[in-house]
Amino acid sequence: MTDAPTQQDISAEIADAHRAAAGRASRHPSRDSAPYRSSGLRHPTHELVRVDPEEIERVAPAFGHVDVDPYENDLTIQHPGEPLGERIILTGRVLDGAGRPVRNQLVEVWQANASGRYVHKRDQHPAPLDPNFTGVGRTLTDDTGAYRFVTIKPGPYPWRNHRNAWRPAHIHFSLFGNAFTERLVTQVYFPGDPLFALDPIYQSIPDQAARDRLIATYDHDLTVPEWATGYRWDIVLTGATATWREDEHGDH
């Protein structure tokens, strides 16, 4: 068994991931990808400004204000009734660039419901909200770097980037190092989605192999009879097989 990375190793891995992003043009999209229209309006155009991490921590968004509770990794039990849609189990491991497990790391997710709608005031497209599904959860990785969520498979949704624009079904993932300033944000997709070829965000990643690494794998052994289908998806922080990261200021 390989030794798990220390907190210092994790911070260094995440910092390296941010620094190396600009040098991995073959795998990562530009911040102002023309087909993804809104990226041209909100990508950085000035020199970065050094900030006090403690000041950011005081105003950073959070899905909870207490310690992570084990129930928070099940998005289907957060309300009195059961949510509508296909129940799924999504699990995988968070690994560093050397393939070592990243332990005790905060992993947060947020997503649309089965109808393709977020519980957010900006999402007003005519799809029903589900009173039994909020679409947010969090967990900590275990000693093997593993995470696990039970949720509802999200639906596609329109996003007005261009005429008849629809986003493929996806779940947003957020990972933290030691501080909010070390945050990484990405998305996981599901196999066989017909919208892949039509989505400017997914297609903005130049390398097909990097795009493929964003797609979860169906796992029949993980699937629970009469209850939920199972998917696996690993997140690699750095290295040749690093997971693509989205612009965390985006909302799609």
Task: Record the tokens describing residue 165, joined without a space.
Answer: 């624009």
**Distance from C-alpha of 133 to C-alpha of 114, rounded to nearest angstrom:** 9
How far is 16 from 31, CA to CA, in rounded Å? 18
Q: Which of 127, 138, 130 lies closest to 86, judged by CA?
A: 130
Residue of 93, 100, 172, 183 with catalytic role: 172
231, β-bridge pairs: 90, 218
Active site residue 36: no
Size (the chain), residues: 252
Of the residues 36, 118, 189, 231, only one is catalytic, namely 118
Find residue 94's DSSP bridge partners. 235
Q: Which residue among 36, 147, 157, 189 is the active-site one?
A: 157
28 carries an active-site annotation: no
**Identified catalytic residue from 100, 167, 213, 252:** 167
Catalytic residue at 170? Answer: yes
Annotated catalytic residue, options 28, 170, 245, 252: 170
Task: Say if residues 166 and 158 touch (Cβ distance below 8 Å).
Answer: yes
Strands 217-218, 87-95: parallel, antiparallel or unpaired by DSSP? unpaired
- Catalytic positions, please? 118, 157, 167, 170, 172
